[in-house]
Amino acid sequence: MPLDDDQRRALAPVLNGFIPPGADGVLPGAGDLGVAADVDAALQRLPQVHAQLIESLEALDRLAARRGAPRFTALPAAEQAEALGELSCSPQAFPPMLMLFTFACYYKHPQVLAHYGLEARAPHPTGYSVAPTDFAFLEPVRRRGPIYRRP
């Protein structure tokens, strides 16, 4: 089951922790860019990891309740950071795979690709120009001939 809107908002500061906004303000952080939906969709293909993600988000809400807030997203930013730090040292910490999926989703985002001068498209069917291969380096092997026994 996909994350709800509040869970995606709760995931944003986590993703910003993995890929923070650029110091120059040009590129947003992963959470600010909105890749939580892509990360969620990708992790749904790994049900055990997705279940861990949901467990971590629920643990964040429990930590928020101990601080007097109804949910994690209702906490001020400073208290969110404290709760995230506390969660990272607990058995309910976010699964390490979350970081890998965050990087994958962030660096395929059209805004990030455009920033690096890349087109936001698959390499095929348009393809890329590839120089013809020069097989001259194989000539010594061809001159030597076969060196195996024929059956």
Hey, how many other C-beta atoms are within 10 angstroms of the C-beta on 112? 19
Residue 36 has pLDDT above 70, yes or no: yes
Count of the separate structural domains present in the chain: 1
For residue 27, tell me if it sits in a domain: yes
- With bands split at pLDDT 50, 70 and 90, how would you rate the model's confidence at 123? low
Domain membership of residue 143 (yes or no) is no
**Assigned domain for 142 exists:** no
Range of the structural domain that residue 45 is part of: 5-120
pLDDT over 90 percentage in the chain? 75
Q: Is residue 141 part of a domain?
A: no
Q: How far apart are the first and last CA of the chain?
A: 59
Identify whether 75 is part of a domain.
yes
Q: Say if 150 falls within a structural domain.
A: no
Whose CA is closest to 11, among 54, 47, 70, 45?
54
More confident residue, 147 or 45: 45
DSSP string, 28-75: PPHHHHTTHHHHHHHHTTSHHHHHHHHHHHHHHHHHHHHTT-SSGGGS
Q: What is the percent of the chain with per-residue pLDDT over 70, rounded to a whole number? A: 95
Per-residue pLDDT tens digits for 48-77: 999 999 999 999 999 999 999 999 999 999
Per-residue pLDDT band at 132 (split at 50, 70, 90): confident
Is a pLDDT exceeding 90 seen at residue 128?
A: no
Higher-confidence residue: 69 or 131?
69
Which 8-state DSSP code applies to residue 72? G
pTM of the model: 0.75
